[in-house]
Structure 1
């Protein structure tokens, strides 16, 4: 029986697509008579997935939600519920039990061969990277190339990671704690994540977000202080580095404001 946890199989997600991994408790397993693409608003996949779809608006790469209007980007998404049963405990307590169910996830990885994997819980991602689970994951995705890099600067963690044959994005479970401000702050690394996988040609970027780049204004003094602190150098050296970026990264307009220089596409 097909349920709201099942996504329509398409040419774009059959292999080499985008796999969303979420816990059993996050998706209502209600029966459906017709499968839908991942972001189809007519298919109620519950508040967690609904909110996750909304995040793409905040990232400047909105997902179409109307049946019949979806494109290759929307059709590239698929989803799996893992583990099939919610583990006992909370937070990090769930990691060992989840890791013991790794065979179920690698079965999906072997079948669908996703190029991008998005975990809607960093605890699910941690389970994949445990000593017990990692060898099976590497059999499916190739060698792990890094241990993961944090892409969030707040208490809530988000990570990106690379395997030989797939990229992973680990995000907090959508909840009241994942505010619009938190999600918006992830826009740059998330867009980079998708574009690095060769999806730029099918992503629909927000027209206003694209034009907004024309109106960003740089604060010279704040930028110099950030360079100084980040590189642990003197203010004078930081100022010289900032000035060296003129023409390549920033430029002055006729009013003397410092603007980010637009790069050719």
Structure 2
């Protein structure tokens, strides 16, 4: 008696396995099937909320931290800079148990806020270190010259220094966005409910569900493409601003 195979597997076996240089006869049926999945839309909303919140928190906190260690001299400054480097050496896997217990103790498991806090805590140290180089690269004499011309320290910073830091802010935002959008392991630990899954978790469960009935590679690749689309859109939005900021800072400097 021949072994049972599902209709999906039978359909796949009837298709040619010979690769074509230019595929023909394509359709958007797989994309439509993925978009019609309510779990995808829900996971997309969770990922967007967590990622945007993480980027906003990281840029604000890291920007202020970079200013503090670059423009001011205070007790413990060098120790703080060294701590930023040491934090990056800690393996993320070694903190999973502590992170889970901490989130559980404050009832923040399976919540956007809880995952955002963990992502921000992981991304902020390196973001501060990245922005520190940009802030240190802007001469403090520019602010002093503006203050001589009558501007206050705050106005001198906002009108002179802040525009020159645009490339650093964009680069740091890109880094924070990618880290939060593609992160998988921390979300796997603290987001255990189906309605709280991020897109990487949803894609994993989608592939596993597809494998149980014979992997439908068309739907898997369509799902993977849709997960990557927001990243592409984000890069298209910031690419021109990053280039203009680099050129502007070069001319003003």
Q: TM-score range by the shorter chain?
A: under 0.3
**Higher helix proportion:** 2
Q: Which has the higher contact order (CA 8 A, sep 6+)?
A: 2
TM-score, length-scaled by structure 2: 0.23
- Which structure: greater strand fraction? 1
**Greater C-alpha radius of gyration:** 2
